[in-house]
Amino acid sequence: MVTLVEKIVSLENEADSIVAAARDEAHGLEKSAMADTEAYRRKISEDMEAKVSSFQKEMEAKHKASVMEAEEELVRALGAVDRIADEVLKEQIDRIVGRFSEI
């Protein structure tokens, strides 16, 4: 009988050891999964920041080019206005004033 009790106690101790080892392994797996998840989140965040930064730089470059084009167009338009002879301007002003005088 003693040997049967000793065997049962031994089996219980072995089962407790197996359960404790399984809990430790599960805890280790949980820590590993949490670390992997955090690393993945960091990578996604870094990738997203890189994409946003790239998009921002691209849009800034397009905006700068658009502004430069508009400025060049303005300079051309102002140059065209400056090239209009004073006589032509005076003639146009007189025509406008004449039209208003008729009304």
CA distances from 102 to 89, 90, 92, 97 (A): 20, 18, 15, 9
Q: Residue 1: what pLDDT?
A: 63
pTM higher than 0.75: no
Question: Which tens digit of pLDDT belongs to each residue from 14-67?
Answer: 999 999 999 999 999 999 999 999 999 999 999 999 999 999 999 999 999 999
